[in-house]
């Protein structure tokens, strides 16, 4: 778990990425090196050293992570195939330059568990995980940086059929010892296994070395279909933890490890876990707890994911604005209710739908208008960041603003929110004044009655 000292919050706001620890703990972590040097310089030993340690024990010192510069992300997903196809990626960069977009999410470890570019990594090399789609990742990264584009590495976590086959001891198993497979025939690795955690962190660190600004974990959950009922978990792995505890502990571990490298950490989560404890328990995603361990939490709130009647909407896919607004209002309520004074919370950055869900019985065709409606709902819910998803990487750029228009919109939103906050504060003060006056009037009336 992240351990933050409340007194250091102001400094955190200035440095952006610092951890606060008592000086005595810091000394122990350095194997006494600083302590020995001080003794040599002063020529003092024994009792004087003990007194110095006692004096230092209450001092708060700062151990900083490398600087991390947050970006207000407006992004799109890009598959490894598209990212590795020069002319296609060049066209995407052109669209980013002329619109409000400023970020891309690129597959680094894909849905099949394959690493999408040549990565020099012990475990990746050991299992032969590379399936190169992006021939020259450093060159691509350099081009993206030239255009001021924020880069996010998508790392698919626990649905990893390749790793599960190569390292069966790390996979989920059924009672007879066979590797577990979901209803699509895909094997999953065991989210309780520390070896799996270390592999994911290893991939994340290597992506950071390549130049990515952020590591975003997807499929950071257990499988959801009924075949999971056949899985047998070893007590040595679970150690008394349930699914949500396992996922949250991994997030905490991965965040601490990757933040030390100057990386931001995010995770994709089901939108439905915000309204269903049953869904949260099944997949192992506890929205509020995960938000305490991440820099960004990315609920997948595609309107097509919600069934008829959700949020009181007959067919949510046909009402994108209302669906997104209701989902994000739920997010705000949950996080406000669970906020702790001494713990940070992740920035909420939802995934929005830029595809037509023609597989539904009741759906509408998504285009420029539907994309803009969803973005507007994000802002109206009080959030600022978003990412568009289309597996085919064919986006409706007509629903996006120019950089200049987006800057004006941001300014208007900030002014509107400030005005609303002031109005709310005034109303609260007026209400307090009315309550006080009413109380005073009641007391006076009681006094007069008593006098009579």
pLDDT of amino acid 106: 98
What number of other Cβ atoms are within 10 A of residue 181's Cβ?
18
In Å, how far are 41, 61, 260 from 7, measured between CA atoms? 32, 11, 21
Give the residue, 308 or 25, on which the prediction is more confident: 308
Burial class (CB within 10 angstroms; exposed 0-12, middle 13-18, buried 19+) of 260:
middle
The answer on pLDDT for 451 being more than 80 is no
Can you tell me the mean pLDDT for 52-73?
61
pLDDT of amino acid 422: 87
Contact of 240 with 323, CB cutoff 8 Å: no
pLDDT of amino acid 273: 83
pLDDT of amino acid 423: 86
Closest CA to 203 of 142, 147, 155: 155
Give the residue, 281 or 150, on which the prediction is more confident: 150
Contact of 258 with 265, CB cutoff 8 Å: yes
pLDDT in tens, 396-406: 999 999 999 99
pLDDT in tens, 255-267: 999 999 999 999 9
Contact of 99 with 401, CB cutoff 8 Å: yes
**Which residues, at least 6 apart from 72, have a Cβ–Cβ distance to it below 8 Å?**
102, 384, 385
pLDDT of amino acid 6: 34
Mean pLDDT of the chain: 85
Tokens, residue 4: 């933050």
Tokens, residue 23: 């000086």
Can you tell me the mean pLDDT for 109-113?
97
pTM (two decimals): 0.81
Determine what percent of the chain is predicted with pLDDT higher than 90.
72
Q: Could you tell me the pLDDT band of residue 18, with boundaries at 50, 70 and 90?
A: very low
Separation between Cα atoms, residue 200 and residue 42, nearest integer Å: 46
Can you tell me the mean pLDDT for 422-436?
75
pLDDT in tens, 196-220: 999 999 999 999 999 999 999 999 9
Can you tell me the mean pLDDT for 372-396?
98
Contact of 163 with 189, CB cutoff 8 Å: yes
pLDDT in tens, 310-327: 999 999 999 999 999 999
Mean pLDDT lowest among 155-159, 214-218, 242-246, 442-446 = 442-446
| Residue 19, φ and ψ in degrees, nearest 5 | -115, 140
Separation between Cα atoms, residue 349 and residue 314, nearest integer Å: 26
Burial class (CB within 10 angstroms; exposed 0-12, middle 13-18, buried 19+) of 280:
buried
Give the residue, 45 or 89, on which the prediction is more confident: 89
Can you tell me the mean pLDDT for 350-359?
98
What size, in residues, is the chain? 452
pLDDT of amino acid 7: 35
CA dihedral 271, 277, 279, 281 (to 10 degrees): 120
Q: Could you tell me the pLDDT band of residue 418, with boundaries at 50, 70 and 90?
A: very high
Beta pairing class for 231-232 and 173-174:
antiparallel
In Å, how far are 163, 272, 318 from 306, measured between CA atoms? 32, 8, 11
The answer on pLDDT for 9 being more than 80 is no
Burial class (CB within 10 angstroms; exposed 0-12, middle 13-18, buried 19+) of 271:
buried
The answer on pLDDT for 11 being more than 90 is no
pLDDT of amino acid 225: 87
**Which residues, at least 6 apart from 226, have a Cβ–Cβ distance to it below 8 Å?**
183
pLDDT of amino acid 55: 41
Beta pairing class for 18-22 and 60-64:
antiparallel
Question: Tokens 């407006």 appear where?
Answer: 74
pLDDT of amino acid 313: 97
Can you tell me the mean pLDDT for 140-156?
98
Beta pairing class for 347-348 and 264-270:
unpaired
The answer on pLDDT for 91 being more than 50 is yes
Contact of 142 with 155, CB cutoff 8 Å: no
Contact of 345 with 339, CB cutoff 8 Å: yes
Question: Tokens 């059929």 appear where?
Answer: 161
| Angle value at C-alpha 158, between 153 and 162, nearest 5 degrees | 90
Q: Could you tell me the pLDDT band of residue 433, with boundaries at 50, 70 and 90?
A: low
Separation between Cα atoms, residue 164 and residue 184, nearest integer Å: 15
Burial class (CB within 10 angstroms; exposed 0-12, middle 13-18, buried 19+) of 99:
buried
The answer on pLDDT for 139 being more than 50 is yes
pLDDT of amino acid 435: 62
Can you tell me the mean pLDDT for 407-418?
95
The answer on pLDDT for 371 being more than 90 is yes
């Amino acid at each position: 778990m992240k351990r933050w000292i409340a007194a250091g919050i102001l400094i955190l706001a200035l440095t952006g990425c610092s951890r606060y620890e008592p000086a005595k703990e810091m000394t122990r972590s350095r194997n006494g090196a600083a302590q020995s040097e001080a003794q040599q310089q002063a020529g003092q030993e024994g009792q004087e050293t003990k007194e110095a340690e006692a004096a230092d024990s209450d001092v708060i010192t700062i151990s900083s992570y490398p600087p991390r510069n947050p970006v207000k992300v407006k992004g799109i997903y890009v598959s490894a195939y598209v990212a590795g196809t020069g002319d296609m990626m060049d066209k995407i960069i052109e669209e980013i330059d002329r619109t409000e977009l400023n970020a891309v999410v690129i597959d680094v470890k894909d849905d099949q568990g394959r690493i999408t570019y040549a990565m020099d990594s012990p475990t990746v090399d050991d299992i032969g995980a590379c399936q190169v789609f992006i021939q020259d990742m450093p060159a691509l990264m350099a081009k993206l940086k030239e255009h001021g584009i924020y880069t996010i590495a998508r790392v698919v976590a626990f649905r990893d059929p390749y790793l599960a086959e190569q390292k069966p001891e790390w996979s989920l198993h059924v009672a007879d010892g066979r590797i577990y497979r979901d209803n699509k025939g895909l094997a999953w690795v065991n989210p309780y296994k520390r070896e799996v955690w270390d592999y994911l962190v290893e991939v994340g660190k290597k992506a950071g070395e390549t130049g990515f600004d952020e590591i975003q974990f997807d499929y950071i959950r257990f499988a959801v279909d009924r075949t999971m009922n056949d899985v047998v978990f070893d007590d040595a792995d679970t150690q008394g933890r349930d699914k949500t505890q396992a996922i949250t502990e991994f997030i905490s571990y991965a965040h601490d490890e990757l933040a030390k490298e100057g990386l931001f950490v995010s995770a994709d989560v089901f939108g439905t876990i915000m309204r269903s404890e049953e869904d949260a328990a099944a997949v192992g995603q506890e929205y509020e707890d995960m938000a305490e361990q991440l820099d960004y939490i990315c609920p997948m709130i595609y309107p097509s994911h919600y069934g008829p009647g959700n949020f009181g909407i007959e067919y949510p896919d046909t009402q994108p604005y209302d669906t997104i607004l209701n989902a994000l209002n739920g997010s705000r309520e949950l996080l406000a209710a669970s906020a702790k004074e001494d713990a940070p919370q992740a920035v909420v950055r939802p995934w929005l739908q830029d595809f037509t869900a023609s597989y539904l019985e009741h759906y509408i065709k998504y285009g420029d208008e539907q994309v803009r409606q969803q973005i507007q709902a994000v802002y109206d819910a009080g959030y600022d960041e978003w990412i568009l998803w289309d597996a085919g990487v064919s986006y409706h750029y007509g629903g996006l603003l120019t950089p200049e228009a987006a800057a004006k919109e941001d300014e208007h939103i900030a002014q509107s929110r400030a005005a609303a906050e002031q109005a709310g504060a005034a109303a609260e003060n007026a209400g307090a004044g009315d309550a006080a006056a009413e109380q005073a009037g009641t007391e006076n009336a009681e006094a007069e009655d008593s006098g009579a």
